[in-house]
Chains A and B, each alone.
Chain A
Amino acid sequence: MSIQLTRRSVIGSLGAIAVGAGLSACGSSSSSSGSSGSNGGGKTLELFNYDTPAQAALTKKVLDAYTKSSGVSVTLSTLPGSGAAIYPGKLRTQILGGSAPDVFQCWGGTIAKPFVDTNQVIPLDALYQKYGWSSELLPASVTDLSYNGKKYGVPTKASSVGVWYNTALLAKSGHGVPTTFAEVETVNAALVKAGVQPWLAGGMYGWDVMRFFEWFLEHTAGPVEHDKLRNAQTSWNTSSVVDAFALLQKWAQNKWLPDGVMALDPTQVEAQFAGGKGAFALDGQWIEQNIVAAKMPTSAYGTFIPPTDQTPLRYSGFTEGLFITTQSKDPTDSEALIDFYLKPSSQELLQNAYTTVTAVPDITGYPGTAQWKKWGQTHQHYVIQDQSLTVDQANSYFSIQSDVVQGKQTPAAAAAAMAQAVPISS
C-alpha cells in the first residue's frame, strides 16, 4: 500500500506535529517540575551547591552513604567557580521555574536574605530542637544564618578571612610576623625595598579589595562603631571611615597592593600566591587548599589574625550553610539529609576543614586551617562587609572603593558618598 502525499495531508501532518510537540513539551515540563518524588520506586531529593569537581566527588560519597542508610537517593547539581556573583541567580531561576532543589547551599547574610524575605525557604527552629543542632554547631555561625529571630539555615562552613604569608618572602623583609598594624606597614615598606610584592589581591569583583577596607575600618573605628556602621546604625561620614579610606589609598599608592589591582582576577591572584609570587594574602582557609593543590608544602606558609590594635581582636568571616526550600516535596527527608550531612563522619568524608560542627577532629594536612578552627572558638568575627550591606549598597561601595584605590576620589569624599549609599536605618 502506498501513501500519496497531497498538499492537504502534508499540512495536516505538520499541524499534528505542531500540536504533538506542544503537548509533549507540556508533559516533559510537568514531569521535571518537581525534583523530589517517585523514581523507580524510591524517593529522590535534589541538592544544589557550588562544589568544585573535587569537592563534588566527596559530597557524592556522603550522599551515597545517606542513600545506603535511608533508601533516599539524592541528585547533586553544582555550579562551581561562579561565587556569589552567579549562583544565587541560577538558584532564583530554578525557584521561579517551579523546579527548586529540595536543599541548597548558600552564603549567609544579605546573600541568602532575599530567599528568606520571599518565603522561599522554611524556618528550621523546630528542627534545631528536634536534632539538637544548636549544641553541635558553632553559635556564631548559626547567628549568621538567622533572620528576623528565626533560624533559616544550617551552617556547614565557617570561613575566616585572615592573613596568610609566605615564610621565605616575609623573611626577606628582615622582620618577623607583625603583631600590630604599624608593624604590618613597616613590613610592607621593607618588602617593597627588598623587591618583593607585599600583598596580592584581585579587585575585579570588588570583594577581594573590600577585605582590606573592612580590616582598616575595624582598626580605625573599633568593634563597636564598625558594627554600627555595618548595620547602618550610624552615619558613614565619620573620621574613622575617612581614615580607613585613607589607608586604602595609601596602600594602593605605595604599591603595597599590586599595580592595577582593580582589574586583577582574584582566582588568578590566589593561584599566584600559592605559587610564591607575593608575601601576603588576605584570604580564607581555602587558600591552604590552593597551596596543597599547587604541591607547595604547607610549612612554607603561615597565618595570623590581621592585627587591628583593638580589643577584642576580631576578624572578618562568613558562614555558608544548607537551606530547605518551601517547594521541596519531601521536607522530612530533606531535614534527615541535612542531619546526616552534619554527622562528624560525613564532615570527615567531606574533608570539611572549616566545618561548623564542633565535634569533628581536625582534617590532617591543613595546619593553618586547623589553627583557624581554634581561633574560631576563642575569637569573635564580624560578618564580611558584602554580606552585611545590601547588594545595592555593596555595589555602591565597590564603585567608591575603586575610585579611592585609583586616587580619583579623596577619602573624605568617599566617606560622604558611603553615607549616601548606606543611609542610617530608621
Chain B
Amino acid sequence: MAQASTVDVRPATVSRRSRRHRANSVALAFAAPALIVYAAFLLYPAIYSIRISFTSWDGLSPVMKYVGLSNYVKMFKDPVMKTAVKNNVIWALVTIFAPMVIGFALALAVNSKVYLRPFIRTIFYMPAVLPLVGVGTIWNWLFQPSGVINQLLALIGLGSLQNAWLGDSTTAIWAITIPACWVGTGFPMLLYLAALQGIPSDYYESARVDGASWWQQLRYITVPSLSAAHAIILALSLINAAKVFDLVFAMTNGGPGNATQVMGTWMYFNVFQSYNAGYGTAIAVVITIVAVLVGIPYVRAQAKAIR
C-alpha cells in the first residue's frame, strides 16, 4: 500500500515542479523586456559610474587613470564637501519635519467638513505640481533685497529684520528651505488625507462616548493609525533630501561662494564644470548609497505590507 502510494505521488511532484518551472519561465519572459531596459539604462550606467569614481577622469580624455579610493578619501578633506553634507542635513531636518507637520495639520483641516473643501485641497496641493526651477526663480525674486519679503517685513514694522536673504551665507540655505517646504507640503497632505479617511469612525465614536478630548483622540487614535503614512512620507522625504539639487541650483547656484552647496550641486559642479568627473562621480555614488540606505526601511515596510 505504501509502495503504491509512493508511486502515485512521484508524478504529481514532478508535474508540480514542471508547472512551477514553466510559470517561472513565463514570468521571466514577461519581465525580460523591462529587465533589459533596466539593465541597459540603469544597471550598466550605475556600474560604469562606480568604475569612473575610482579614476581621475576629467570627463573628456579618452584615457581614465585609476586612482583607487583617493576620490573617496578626498571627500573627507574637501571643505566644500563638508559644507555640502552639513547643508544636506539641515535640508533633511527642515524639509522633512516642517512639511510633515504642516501637511498633517492641513490634512486634518481639510478632512473635516469645511466649505469649498475640494477647492482648498487643490490650492494646498498646487505648489507640488509646479516645476522646481520655476519655483526657484519665483522665490529668488521674493527674497531679493528689494523683494516682497523685505517689503512685507517693513510693512508690519519688522524692518530691522530685512536682510539680503540669499546673499548672506548664514541665511541663504535656510531661505531656500522655505520654498522647499512650500512645495513639499502638498504630498504629505494628500497621503495623510487618504490615511485619515481610512480610520474607522467607530474608534472616534467610542472615544467620544468614553469622554476623550479632541487632543486625546488625536494622540491615541489618529496619530497611531497613520503610522504607515508617517513611514512612507519620512522615507520618501529622506530620499529626496539626499538627492536635492534643483531648488539650490536655481536659487543660488550653490552660492554665495559655496555657502549653499549640497552634495547634488557639488557633484554637478565637479562633473560638468570643473572637469573633475572622477571626483564628482564618487560624490554621486555616495549620494546614491545614502538614498538607498535611507530607502531600505521603506522598501522593507512595503514588502512586509504586501506579504
Contact = CB atoms under 8 A, between A and B. Distances in A.
Given A85-B273, A406-B256, A114 B58 contact: yes
B186 to A, nearest CB: 27
A402 B60 contact: no
B26 interface: yes
A258 interface: yes
Interface in A305-348: none
Interface residues of B, number: 37
Nearest to B268: A89
A401 interface: yes
A219 B169 CA distance: 29
Contacts of B257: 206, 262, 398-403
B29 interface: yes
B164 interface: yes
B87 interface: no
A11 interface: yes
Nearest to A259: B145
Interface stretch (A12-20, A161-169, A220-228, A237-245): A12-20
Interface string B146-167: 0000000000000000011111
A235 interface: no
Contacts of A398: 255, 257-258
A416 B59 CA distance: 31
Contacts, number: 113
A327 B166 CA distance: 43
Contacts of A406: 167-169, 256
Dominant SS at the B interface?
Answer: loop
A326 to B, nearest CB: 11
B58 A11 contact: no
A165 B24 CA distance: 76
A392 interface: yes
Contact of A95 (B32, B60, B275): B60
B269 interface: yes
Contact of A92 (B60, B144, B269): B60
Q: What range describes how many residues of A lie at the interface?
A: 35 or more
A418 to B, nearest CB: 13
Contact of A120 (B60, B140, B167, B272): B60
A395 B58 contact: no
A264 B167 contact: yes
A392 B60 contact: no
B145 A260 contact: yes
Contacts of A7: 26
A114 B144 contact: no
B36 interface: yes
A96 interface: yes
Interface of A: 7, 11, 14-15, 17-18, 22, 85-86, 88-89, 92, 95-96, 114-115, 117-118, 120, 203-206, 258-265, 391-392, 395, 398-403, 405-406, 408
6 contacts: A95-B60, A205-B255, A258-B145, A263-B172, A395-B269, A398-B257
Given A14-B29, A96-B60, 20 more contacts: A11-B29, A14-B32, A18-B32, A85-B273, A88-B273, A89-B273, A92-B60, A95-B60, A204-B255, A205-B255, A258-B145, A260-B164, A260-B167, A261-B167, A262-B257, A401-B257, A402-B256, A402-B257, A406-B167, A406-B169
